[in-house]
Amino acid sequence: MVTSAHPLASQAGLEILQSGGNAIDAAIATTLAISVVEPYSAGLGGGGFALYHGGKQTEALDFRERAPQAATANMYLDKDGKPIKNASINGHKSVGIPGTIAGLAELHRKHGKLPWKTLVTPAIRLAEQGFPVSQQYLDALGWRSKVLQQDPEASRIFLRNGGLPKIGTSIIQTDLAKTLASVAEDPNSFYNGTVAKAIVKDMQTQGGIITESDLRGYKPLWRDPICGPFRQFQVCSMPPPSSGGVHLLQILNMLDDGKLQASDWHQVDHLHKFIETLRIAYADRAVHLGDPAFTTVPVKALTSKSYAAKRRKEIDPARAKTSAEVQATTPAQLKESQETSHLTVIDQDRNAISLTFTINLSFGAGVVAKGTGIVLNNEMDDFATAPNTPNAFGLTGNQANAIAPGKTPLSSMTPTIVLENNQPRLVVGAPGGSTIITTVTQVILNTLVFDMDIKRAIAAPRLHHQWLPDRTRIDRHGFDPTTVELLRKRGHKIEETGSWGNANGIMVLPDGSLEGSADPRGEGTAMGY
């Protein structure tokens, strides 16, 4: 079974499975297809994380974007030390070194079954033949169209006469098809070949700072996944430089007090405790999380049961604290003891992969490397461009996530595999910037605690709190008005908004069969055979 954010991408992955490919093969084909049909969310010009379980082993691959060697801590600040508006969001200078192709090639080298070229073929076909414009495409295009209009390549490919195309219009990407064909022959062409030269030439003419040396030096990194117990399950997710796994386990540990049961779903006491738990976790995130090559991240402490018990005691069951009252624990107390896209695959041997990748904001930096069709990321905005200054998702950070050459920006991506008896039980992930962690957490709780099937678990209304700004975002019309009013009386600042996120996942049922679902908030689908 394959689940992804777009039917054409799920179909590409399914074709590979039906041709004898394994989970890794199908994930690669699906990822490349998403790069064509979701140019606003993820692609060759971005990066991500993958979690893989095969046999009895779980592995994590980091192919996240990294800061170029010419990057500096104050590169987005004016002479007075204040952030320059949109400098880390728009244009070539906001681009981190892309990792998607290197990551996929490494996955294939270690675990692939079918020839690499076979896996790239569906994406080439989609780029040459085109895909129809959907409402989701238009929504993503709408709020970034002014930026895209300023880049001739992006405007030519994705707009029509500088304006929005009509629903059903075919988006054909001839240059991207040529790039994919080059990558199909040799994935290293992206980093040390014709594609690399085209990217660098575009950088040089447009004020970017990525060099041939930056591309040539990029290597994905295998990391030890973060795994921890939750009831009878083992929850495995991404380690730093993603904050996803650390805070997923921290939140689950704080909630798992032996009292949580199925009947607590959307009850005011549980929601109150959940919000206060999120407030604590995101306060810790802002201070302690960053690239482990540059800062010491207290992973074991933050994910320990004892730390969860300690912080749980700080929650007042009758009153919401303000975020000003909640701070990260100091290092001395922590001694060791959006856009984005997600896809999941489980093959017939029950190998499983959960993969999240991104170009950051919709259409990334709003630019396409000339002649390549590659939408470039604006991942540099995921660094703390200045201390305590919110990024595009409202997240703040400190020195642990400051810009430095070769450094990986902190992420919220949370590709997750839940094991039972060392076999996959749930494979899940989501896009959504800072909301990724809370979305994945709620899907896990919905399935493993609140007894929902995967479709209902993913479709269920959500809430989100990230410490700063001090507000709780909830799905409009998704929560009982009486419950919302009771939360307000406890001091929660509730903001009712439209829905968010585009999760997908696969569950292995007790009889061994698979049940998958893509988020009804998006246009994705689950496909199996």
Catalytic residues: 340
- Sign of the CA dihedral running 20, 21, 22, 26: negative
The letter for the amino acid at 85 is: K
Structure tokens at 373: 């069709």
Distances 321 to 209, 272, 306, 328, 488 between C-alpha atoms, Å = 44, 10, 22, 14, 12
The letter for the amino acid at 232 is: Q
Chain-centre distance for alpha carbon 363: 15
Residue showing tokens 């604290």: 321
| Interatomic CA distance for residues 113 and 100, integer angstroms | 19
| Interatomic CA distance for residues 94 and 383, integer angstroms | 11
| Interatomic CA distance for residues 319 and 72, integer angstroms | 43
Residue 272 near residue 320, CB atoms below 8 Å: yes
Number of continuous H segments (helices) and E segments (strands) in the chain:
18, 20
Query: Beta strands of 188-249 (E only): which ranges?
Result: 221-223, 226-230, 233-237
Q: Which helix (H) or strand (E) holds 58?
A: strand 57-63
**How many other C-beta atoms are found inside a 10 Å radius of the C-beta of residue 317?**
9
